[in-house]
Amino acid sequence: MAQPTDIDPAQHRRGFALTLFGVLVLTPDTLLIRLIDIDPWTMNFWRGAMMAASLLVVYAGVRRSAFFSDIRGLGIAGLSVAVIYALNAISFVFAVENTRVANVLIILAATPLIAALLSVIVLRERVAGATWAAIAMGMAGVVIVVGDGLRAGTSLGDVFALVTACALAVTFIIIRRNRHVNMVPAAALGALLSAIIVAPLADPMAVPSGNWGLLLLLGFVVMPVSFGLITLGPRTLPAPEVALLMLLETVLGPLWVWLVIGEAPSDTTFIGGVIVISAVVLQSAWRLRRRRAAA
């Protein structure tokens, strides 16, 4: 995703710091989902409702009189991001509940490559040979991971993870074409919409008493802080750097799950993960080199 080459160094450092901190805050997300003993519908309800409430309250406090004008300014693009985010949030929880955390995060790591592929199909953009090679390499890694899920009986979760990655890729394309729109309210509205969609199937009061602390941590800290920063940071950070920072979740997320509950990725998943991560790293390094050469 092309970024302007005249970004001020101070803005670049700010974007890097915001994105890095947002990704680090997000890494325990999958572990918390595993530790909280509730069904996926109820998890989606509380995860969406808490994130929406906290994001909207904080954003309203910061923007004050401009709050409602920002929401009106979302337009079709912002509303589309909100709807796609709701789909993404719901499918992500079902992915974590139905396959290994490593599988989910490895498939999500391929999101920038899926976005590049969709830009060819949807935006009719020309893609360089190096990017095509990275796409082919990354998709091969995803096929390996999903194939391992088929053998292990976790293919349903892998499919949900793939849906999540595709939804995120579409979101990236929409944001790319509408950089002037602040999408933080869209993320909040998407979280609220996800809670509304699953509400008829959720049982909000079925949360065990010992799980409320973890749920509050997930809904009021991890989700709003991470997604708020990850929405703001990349506005002044080149897409290749964003992709590389997001790989921290792919590495650290499964690590926390392995350390706390002993869930380790299979050898085949590990191989697929190395291929996907290598593809993203190589593509990002190539794009950063091109960007610096053009600056």
**Res 33: pLDDT:** 94
* Rg of the chain taking only CA atoms, in angstroms: 19
pTM: 0.83
**Res 162: pLDDT:** 92
The answer to whether residue 3 sits within a structural domain is: no
- For residue 36 the two structure tokens come to 């909280």
Torsion of the alpha carbons at 269, 271, 275 and 276, rounded to the nearest 10 = 20
Does residue 179 or residue 53 have the better pLDDT?
Answer: 53
**Res 38: pLDDT:** 94
Alpha-carbon distance of 191 to 86, in angstroms, equals 6
The answer to whether residue 152 scores a pLDDT higher than 90 is no
The answer to whether residue 100 sits within a structural domain is: yes
The answer to whether residue 2 sits within a structural domain is: no
The answer to whether residue 181 sits within a structural domain is: yes
Confidence label for 35 from pLDDT (cuts 50, 70 and 90) = very high
**Res 161: pLDDT:** 94
Burial-class residue 268 by CB neighbours within 10 Å (0-12, 13-18, 19+): middle
The answer to whether residue 183 sits within a structural domain is: yes
**Residue bearing tokens 């992709």:** 243
Residue 232 belongs to domain spanning: 9-294
Q: Which of 75, 23, 30, 92 is nearest to 246 (CA)?
A: 23
Mean pLDDT of 131-158: 84
The answer to whether residue 115 sits within a structural domain is: yes
Specify the number of domains making up the chain: 1
The answer to whether residue 231 scores a pLDDT higher than 80 is no
CA 232, distance to chain mean position in Å, is 14
The answer to whether residue 256 sits within a structural domain is: yes
The answer to whether residue 4 sits within a structural domain is: no
Alpha-carbon distance of 219 to 194, in angstroms, equals 13
CA 171, distance to chain mean position in Å, is 10
